[in-house]
Amino acid sequence: MRRTTIDQRRATALLFPIAAFLLAGGLGRRKARDSFESAIREAESIVGGRRIDHIGHPTHYADIVALWAHDKRFADARGHPRLLELTGKHGFASLVHEISRTLDPESVLSILRRYGNVRRTRGRYALVRPFFFTSSQTTMAFEPMAYFLADASSTLGRILKRTRRSRGAELFWRKVECTGLSEKAVKSFTAFARDRSLEFLEELDDWLEARRASETGKRTSADFRRVGLGLFSIYSDVESPHSATSRG
């Protein structure tokens, strides 16, 4: 797949909320710059870990998975995503070309199989995950990771810049956390949160796909906005003593 780069404009947008919070927290410009240089040196020294894989624009893959999961042309009699042949009417290639005629179906299929989204079954292909997963035990896709960081940064940046006269949706940031759990309890929470958040995200995904289908053809592409919700887990040592539980 085509290698994606981050230009200076995108890097500045990504770093803006971090810089704002550093300055607001009392760290001067020089120390903030020194901290960033130190972070770069630490990143350069990392050896091992997961290989970073460039896969191209990530929303294409997410859209393909969503279409496969929701469109009746690619569903079985029970309404579930059906097994697809690579070619043929309503096969995998036609599914991919519904999203973009410029995509190569075999390359897309290779990426989806690499991260466990699709598996080969009796000469056909099955969708095994309702959302586009982007990491394996050895590899992580660069572009989805970059987009996730950019989305989180953009949300904080818009909150920082927002005034009473600002137009557009009022974005939000929510978090729950607890500092009194054992490793065993942490594992139980992670499993619980993964299952419950998947159900929640599937409900949101159904809502978004239904709304997108109802608005198709009503407006030009300039009127559309990209919207969604991202979740991530938290795991760290306790940095300073405080109450056993806290919520934000």
Q: Quick one: average pLDDT of 12-17?
A: 80
pTM of the model: 0.69
User: In this structure, are 248 and 179 located in the same domain?
Assistant: yes
Domain assignment of residue 62, yes or no: yes
pLDDT at 205: 86
Domain assignment of residue 25, yes or no: no
Domain assignment of residue 184, yes or no: yes
Contact 155, 168 (CB under 8 A): no
**Helix, coil or strand: residue 32:** helix
pLDDT at 222: 67
pLDDT at 111: 94
pLDDT at 21: 81
CA trace torsion 52, 126, 211, 218 (10° rounding): 90
Contact 107, 18 (CB under 8 A): no
Given 127, 152, 185, which residue is the final one in a domain?
127
pLDDT of residue 46 exceeding 90, the answer is no
Among 8-12, 114-118, 217-221, whose mean pLDDT is lowest?
Answer: 217-221
User: In this structure, are 246 and 181 located in the same domain?
Assistant: yes
- 116 vs 172, higher pLDDT: 116
pLDDT at 5: 61
pLDDT of residue 210 exceeding 70, the answer is yes
Given 70, 92, 127, which residue is the final one in a domain?
127
**Helix, coil or strand: residue 3:** coil
Domain assignment of residue 153, yes or no: no
pLDDT of residue 3 exceeding 60, the answer is no
Domain assignment of residue 6, yes or no: no
- Reported as a pLDDT band with limits 50, 70 and 90, residue 240 is low
Summary mean pLDDT of the chain: 84
Domain assignment of residue 248, yes or no: yes
- Reported as a pLDDT band with limits 50, 70 and 90, residue 217 is low
pLDDT at 145: 85
pLDDT of residue 40 exceeding 60, the answer is yes
Query: At 139, which helix (H) or strand (E)?
Result: strand 139-141
| Domain span at 245 | 174-248
Q: How many domains does the chain have?
A: 2
Domain assignment of residue 95, yes or no: yes
pLDDT of residue 34 exceeding 80, the answer is yes
pLDDT of residue 81 exceeding 90, the answer is yes
Among 47-51, 56-60, 102-106, 150-154, whose mean pLDDT is lowest?
Answer: 47-51
CB atoms < 10 A from the CB of 97, how many? 12
User: DSSP alpha helices (H): ranges in the chain?
Assistant: 8-24, 29-44, 58-70, 92-99, 105-114, 142-161, 183-215
- 46 vs 96, higher pLDDT: 96
Q: Percent of the chain beyond pLDDT 90?
A: 32
92-141 pLDDT, tens digit each: 999 999 999 999 999 999 999 999 999 999 889 999 988 898 988 888 89
Given 104, 127, 150, which residue is the final one in a domain?
127
Domain assignment of residue 201, yes or no: yes
- 85 vs 212, higher pLDDT: 85
Please, which residues bridge with residue 125 across strands? 84, 120
Q: Quick one: average pLDDT of 86-96?
A: 94
